[in-house]
Amino acid sequence: MDNQKTHQLAIIPGDGIGKEVVQEGIRVLDFISKHSPNNFNFETDYFPWGCEYYLEHGRMMDEDGLERLKNYDAIYFGAVGFPGVPDHVSLWGLRIAICQGFDQWANIRPVEFLPGVPSKLNHPDTDTLNWVLVRENSEGEYSGIGGRNFTGRGPGKEVAVQSSLFTEEGCERVIRYAFDLARTRKRKKVTSVTKSNAQQYGMVLWDEVFARVSKEYPDVETDQWLVDAMAANFVLHPEDLEVVVASNLLADILSDLGSALAGSLGIAASANLDPERRYPSMFESVHGSAPDIAGKGIANPIGAIGSASLMLEQLGYAEEAQLVNQSIRDATAAGYLTADIGGNTSTKEMTDAILEALAKVY
């Protein structure tokens, strides 16, 4: 860690509640920078990109967007999505453009059950459950290969093709990342999830790479599941899970399931990492822009604050990250709960409670 460094952060609040929750994450980072003994310093530049920008400029971000972002130490991202802009336009025009442009090939999504938050699971001690999804974030089902109207046949007869891309290198790097991550956790276990009985090329390659890499980690326990069975297993035996690695689409679906089981999409954090650190990594809550609750001041900021914690960790401030996570737990345990997790605490009050908990340890 370079204590003298001022970290340059690019902030992309985006649309809807993205704008609201990003502010709360910044409040937490501000607090850390003022109180942490480890000299966490940062400066921010804001980028107004998103769907409203698209409606005005016809682009989700400026043409030289990646060029302008590439020298930042990290990107902190809200959410994109807006009524009237098709989801695939907003997603590909900004979020996926950044993930793929900066080869952020590992998407880390912790599933953490919080004390005081009513879980959807009927499980004896949900508070202790936590696992982490490692999502392949550069290829797979989101490779963008395919097209519309292949046969030129008219309306009602159209044929669209959507191909998945699995490269041996792409599979290997993310699977290896999952094994390395497992070694840092209390229980050393990696679960691989595919649908390789039905997807017989790419996902069989994935399985083969998983088997090969696992031989290099004899200290790490492994298992392999099909995604349909794993969806049921998330509900039935969540205590079996530690590090779960899966392709782009499958891990995306499982992460919404995981966060919903834990209580709400609003509490799920994520990091899009370039583990090789050639480019900035991007930190964002898992939820979208939630237009139904935007502007009401009731969005849950925990996912965004947890994402800021992942950013602290990647910037070299593991202790601070840990304290933020603990303060989130302290705040929910004390009964501060936003509407989505069964309370009536506002967005700002939720952050206030987290800062109050942080103030106790600093």
Which residues bind to ligand ATP, rule: CB under 6 A?
17, 21, 79, 81, 87, 265-266, 287-293, 299-300, 303, 340
Chain-centroid distance, C-alpha 250: 14
Q: In what order do the strands lie in the sheet with 189-194?
A: 41-46, 6-14, 74-79, 281-285, 269-273, 106-112, 130-136, 243-246, 189-194, 221-226
Closest to ligand ATP by CB, 252 or 320: 252
- Site for Mg ion (CB under 5 A): how many residues? 1
User: Which segment (17-25, 267-275, 286-294, 330-338) binds Mg ion by CB under 5 A?
Assistant: 286-294
In sequence order, what are the residues at sequence separation of 6 or more whose Cβ sits closer than 8 angstroms to the Cβ of residue 179? 190, 213, 214, 216, 217, 220, 243
Please, what is the minimum distance in Å from the beta carbon of residue 19 to Mg ion?
A: 16
Closest to ligand ATP by CB, 245 or 290: 290
Which one of ligand ATP, Mg ion, none is in contact with 17 (Cβ closer than 5 to 8 A by kind)?
ligand ATP
Closest to Mg ion by CB, 73 or 252: 252
Closest to Mg ion by CB, 65 or 288: 288
Closest to ligand ATP by CB, 56 or 292: 292
User: Which segment (194-202, 203-211, 280-288, 335-343) binds Mg ion by CB under 5 A?
Assistant: 280-288
Which one of Mg ion, ligand ATP, none is in contact with 170 (Cβ closer than 5 to 8 A by kind)?
none
Distance (Å, rounded) from C-alpha 148 to C-alpha 129?
Answer: 43
- Residue number of the CB closest to ligand ATP reads 288
Chain-centroid distance, C-alpha 185: 19
| Geometric angle at alpha carbon 136, from 135 and 138, rounded to 5° | 135
Please, what is the minimum distance in Å from the beta carbon of residue 48 to ligand ATP?
A: 17
Residues 288-347 that bind Mg ion (CB under 5 A): 288
Tokens in use for 181?
A: 């991550």
Please, what is the minimum distance in Å from the beta carbon of residue 341 to ligand ATP?
A: 8
Distance (Å, rounded) from C-alpha 19 to C-alpha 48?
Answer: 10
- Residue number of the CB closest to Mg ion reads 288
Distance (Å, rounded) from C-alpha 85 to C-alpha 133?
Answer: 29
Determine if 16 is a binding residue for Mg ion (CB under 5 A): no
Please, what is the minimum distance in Å from the beta carbon of residue 287 to ligand ATP?
A: 3
Which one of Mg ion, ligand ATP, none is in contact with 30 (Cβ closer than 5 to 8 A by kind)?
none
Distance (Å, rounded) from C-alpha 79 to C-alpha 50?
Answer: 8
Residue 48 and residue 18 in contact, taking contact as beta carbons nearer than 8 Å:
no
Please, what is the minimum distance in Å from the beta carbon of residue 265 to Mg ion?
A: 8
| Geometric angle at alpha carbon 199, from 169 and 96, rounded to 5° | 55
Residue 49 to residues 36, 43, 54, 81, Cα–Cα distance (Å): 31, 19, 8, 11
Closest to ligand ATP by CB, 205 or 290: 290
Tell me which DSSP letter residue 345 carries. B
User: Which segment (106-114, 132-140, 281-289, 292-300) binds Mg ion by CB under 5 A?
Assistant: 281-289
Torsion of CA 139, 142, 143, 144, to 10 degrees: -170
Please, what is the minimum distance in Å from the beta carbon of residue 215 to ligand ATP?
A: 39
Question: Helix, strand or coil for residue 41?
Answer: strand
Closest to ligand ATP by CB, 20 or 274: 20
Distance (Å, rounded) from C-alpha 90 to C-alpha 79?
Answer: 10
Which one of ligand ATP, Mg ion, none is in contact with 340 (Cβ closer than 5 to 8 A by kind)?
ligand ATP
Binding site for Mg ion (CB under 5 A): 288
